[in-house]
Amino acid sequence: MPVNANAIDIVTQRMRKQGGRPALHWRGADVSYDEFFARIDDWLDHLARHGVGAGTVCGVFGDYSPATTSLFFALMRLNAIIVPFTVVGETEMERFAEIAGVECMVRFKADDTWTFEAFTDVPKDPLVAAFLERGTPGLIVFTSGSTGEPKAILHDCERVMRKFVPERRGWSTVLFLMMDHFGGFNTLLGAFAYGGVAVCLADRLPETVCRAIAEAGATLLPTTPTFLNLMIASGAWKRFDLTSVKMITYGTEVMPETTLARVAELFPDAAVKQTYGLSELGVLRSKSEEGHNTWLKVGGDGFEVKIVDGILWVRSESNMVGYLNAPNPFDDDGWMCTGDEVEVRGDMIRFVGRKSEIINVGGQKVFPVEVETVLLEDDNVSEATVFGTPHVVLGQAPCARVSLRHPEDKKAMTARLRRHCRESLAKYKVPMRFVVIDNEEQRSERFKKVRR
């Protein structure tokens, strides 16, 4: 891309050329690119009347739809700052809006109608104020807060869009990852940037997702290992024609190899690819090793990686501008410690777990996913989550929450699962205790495992 080229302009001009081709699939119908840009123009008129322009910090509450997605592009055109919110984070929205310095809020209902509210005397965060001098649109998203206070992350949308300038294949992409996290926003841009179709969801239950895939003929499903396991356990995949899917990407957590093998079995015509990214760094290019395993190569244009004491570090051209409410996590050379422990084989790596989730049993490491993979081999276990609990002698001991396909005697189940684990794992890795819970209790609202 030429030095002074505007990535957002390049991508939107490419999108305009799609004309009458479908841009979105929403509520069983398609919206063309021509209609999408007409909506963007309508938003520009609405926003002008409400005084929204360059530098305005605008909250957007809702989910993917023709109105929300076109609003994002209108706000980028105005060089405004987007702060997306969803119902999952609604209880924290007021506090997050205060941290971000939200000056107006557009709230969407399920039918895509909306309301606008402006706020007065909102102070500008110093980082945001300095960012405005760039004259580019911004994005503020929040970390999940699983290990402390959620952090407000400011991104430069122009910098984020640069990775989408080189032309690639367009996909019919299911918008599974939520728009208030960086991964969801990245997926949204990728769906449009290559002239693909963005498939919107009414919710993220297995039945709904499978129905949307069948209706839209979706070809790409970006999701999480936890959702894939839930979909397998639900049996929803049996009730719909999912043969259109040609690529499944997963990230955000480590994939049990048992689940990976089952996904490959159910989707024989789909490539299964692991992705990797952090909200602070962006989403790296990745290439999975041939065959169905969890080894991959990460990096690509604009990204550098290194391994220090088994932990992955990344330096990125699309780094966030900074945190609004926390110290800068980058070292003096621009590297960030991801906290992800990896194994290395040549130029390939395999994620084994977050450093914070590793269980220390008498000084020996237990990676939860290794134990979960073994537990999921049992015919009656539909989901398993392994976590550490305090132990007087060992420091920590592994325990497991399991979900069953069919009810059974807990004593017999415990004996069988312990026996199976001992056949594949060292003694210190075998769960000390098993708790039986429903599948739904295993996951967060973002379809990630809850290990706490």
Confidence of residue 149 (pLDDT cuts 50, 70, 90): confident
> Mean pLDDT over all residues of the chain?
91
**pLDDT digit string, tens, across residues 359-395:** 999 888 898 889 999 999 999 999 999 999 998 888 8
**pLDDT digit string, tens, across residues 15-26:** 999 999 999 999
Q: Which amino acid is at 52?
A: V
**pLDDT digit string, tens, across residues 202-234:** 999 999 999 999 999 999 999 998 899 899 989
Q: Which amino acid is at 205?
A: L
Cβ 399 vs Cβ 430: under 8 Å: no
Beta-strand pair 296-299/282-288: antiparallel
Residue 325 φ/ψ, nearest 5 degrees:
-135, 25
Confidence of residue 411 (pLDDT cuts 50, 70, 90): very high
Q: Identify the CA nearest to 394 among candidates 426, 359, 422.
A: 359
**pLDDT digit string, tens, across residues 85-132:** 999 888 889 999 999 999 999 999 999 999 999 999 999 999 999 999
**Which tokens hold the place of 241?**
């024609």
Q: Could you give the dihedral angle defined by the CA atoms of residues 67, 40, 160 and 103, in that order, rounded to the nearest 10 degrees?
A: -70
In the predicted model, what is the mean pLDDT of residues 426-445?
90
Q: Strand ranges (DSSP E) for 330-380?
A: 336-345, 348-354, 359-361, 364-366
The pTM of this model reads: 0.87
Look-up of token digits 């422990």: 341
pLDDT at 346 exceeding the cut of 90: no
**Which tokens hold the place of 279?**
């909200």
Confidence of residue 145 (pLDDT cuts 50, 70, 90): low
Beta-strand pair 282-288/81-85: unpaired
| pLDDT the model gives residue 2 | 43
Q: Identify the CA nearest to 54 among candidates 78, 82, 83.
A: 78
Domains in the chain (CATH in brackets) are 7-345 (3.40.50.12780), 358-442 (3.30.300.30)
Please give the Cα distance from 425 to 370 (Å, whole number): 9
Helix (H) or strand (E) holding 248: strand 247-250
Q: Identify the CA nearest to 281 among candidates 253, 309, 322.
A: 322
Cβ 190 vs Cβ 173: under 8 Å: yes
